[in-house]
């Protein structure tokens, strides 16, 4: 969906992606495998900023042959502050870089055909980070599953003297942080929208249930405690959706949308968590059973407040903007 039409993708603008993301998330595995992957999976957007060779081999290869890719930033030393926490090293030797280190929490790593890895090539800070494209089966790469709260587990990816050809460096040396930021910021809007879709589906289930379930001589929908839960959920979802649309709209107009993306991400993910929590409360015991998708959504939405930049980092972006420090 996100891939430009010139490379064989649907070429949807960000608002279009946002709308599809909301609807495609409305299924049991929708938090991480929207629409059961019916719409395919796009390669990381920054591949389209690569060389002709990189675009053809990795980008277009992914579209035409369904190749899967991962994106590796986080390490055991931290994920929210990559400029300081990236320890993975890449040292240029002749016509290749020697890559060493370990990445953590990498979704879809094992089995992926290729991936983009952020590694340090220079001094500390943003300017010392460079992006590399690695093939999933390169000698020296190993994977270890990390069991987590969700069914779709991420991986630890270990690089032991992995030889990466110089033509696989994505962008200039020291340009990796900007690429990581582009991937993260542009991804935050559809990411936010997916959580709204799940919460909307949960709310619709809860409304149907409240209208049919009886307790203490009347339907749940007749009780003010339930009505207010439904009303609060509707109001919060509308607000989150409009903030997400606004971020998408600004992106499509070519405006700087980093602030809007952060606001949308934190609002949508936190709203979705609250809404699904309320819906479980309305369902009672059935809400936490595995008969319904609510139990799975509740667990998987919890990760959304951490992944792709935790709520605290999004609030930091907002606060810096308010206080005049836009870094």
Q: Which is nearer to other proteins, 39 or 143 (CB)?
A: 39
- β-sheet bridge partners, residue 165: 96
Burial string for 28-44 (b: 16+ CB within 10 Å, else e) reads bbbbbbbbeeebebbbb
- β-sheet bridge partners, residue 133: 116
**Residue 36 interacts with other proteins (CB under 8 A)?**
yes
Q: In sequence order, which residues have a C-beta less than 8 Å from that of residue 182 and are 6 or more positions away?
A: 45, 46, 49
Kindly name the residue from 56, 173, 308, 312 that is annotated as catalytic.
308
Q: Which of 253, 256, 312, 326 binds other proteins (CB under 8 A)?
A: 253
Listed residue (187, 275, 266, 277) closest to 237, CA to CA: 275
CA distances (Å), origin 250, targets 13, 130, 192:
11, 28, 15
**Residue 69 interacts with other proteins (CB under 8 A)?**
no
H-helix or E-strand spanning residue 69: strand 69-72
Separation CA 184–CA 136 (nearest Å): 22
**Residue 207 interacts with other proteins (CB under 8 A)?**
no
**Residue 161 interacts with other proteins (CB under 8 A)?**
no
Task: Tell me whether residue 173 is one of the annotated catalytic residues.
Answer: no
**Residue 322 interacts with other proteins (CB under 8 A)?**
no
> How would you classify the pairing of strands 69-72 and 114-120?
parallel
**Residue 147 interacts with other proteins (CB under 8 A)?**
no
Q: Which of 173, 234, 252, 277 binds other proteins (CB under 8 A)?
A: 252
**Residue 226 interacts with other proteins (CB under 8 A)?**
no
**Residue 294 interacts with other proteins (CB under 8 A)?**
no
**Residue 113 interacts with other proteins (CB under 8 A)?**
no
CB of 36 to other proteins, least distance (A): 5
- Which residues are catalytically annotated? 308
Which parts of this chain interact with other proteins (CB under 8 A)?
A: 1, 5, 10-13, 15-16, 19-20, 22-24, 26-29, 32-33, 35-40, 151-152, 242, 245, 249, 252-254, 290, 293, 295-296
């Amino acid at each position: 969906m996100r891939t430009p039409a010139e490379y064989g993708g649907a070429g949807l603008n960000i608002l279009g992606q946002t709308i599809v993301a909301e609807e495609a998330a409305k299924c049991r595995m929708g938090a991480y495998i929207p629409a059961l992957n019916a719409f395919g999976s796009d390669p990381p957007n920054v591949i389209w900023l690569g060389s002709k060779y990189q675009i053809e081999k990795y980008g277009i290869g992914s579209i035409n042959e369904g190749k899967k890719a991962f994106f590796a930033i986080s390490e055991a030393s931290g994920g929210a502050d990559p400029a300081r926490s990236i320890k993975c090293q890449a040292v240029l030797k002749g016509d290749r870089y020697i890559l060493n280190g370990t990445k953590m929490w990498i979704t879809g790593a094992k089995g992926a055909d290729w991936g983009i890895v952020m590694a340090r090539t220079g001094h500390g800070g943003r300017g010392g980070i460079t992006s590399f494209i690695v093939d999933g089966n390169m000698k020296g790469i190993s994977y270890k599953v990390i069991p987590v709260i969700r069914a779709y587990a991420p991986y630890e990816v270990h690089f032991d003297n992995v030889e990466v050809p110089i033509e696989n460096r994505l962008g200039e040396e020291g340009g990796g942080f900007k690429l990581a930021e582009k991937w993260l910021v542009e991804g935050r809007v559809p990411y936010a929208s997916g959580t709204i879709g799940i919460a909307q589906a949960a709310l619709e289930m809860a409304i149907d249930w409240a209208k049919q379930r009886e307790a203490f001589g009347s339907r749940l929908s007749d009780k003010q405690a339930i009505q207010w839960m439904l009303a609060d959920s509707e109001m919060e979802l509308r607000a989150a959706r409009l903030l997400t649309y606004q971020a998408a709209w600004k992106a499509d107009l070519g405006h700087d949308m980093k602030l809007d993306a952060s606001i949308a991400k934190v609002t949508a993910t936190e709203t979705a968590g609250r809404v699904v929590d309320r819906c479980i409360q309305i369902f009672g015991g059935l809400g936490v059973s595995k008969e319904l998708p609510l139990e799975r959504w509740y667990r998987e939405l919890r990760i959304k407040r951490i992944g792709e930049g935790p709520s605290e980092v999004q609030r930091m972006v907002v606060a810096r903007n308010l206080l005049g420090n836009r870094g």
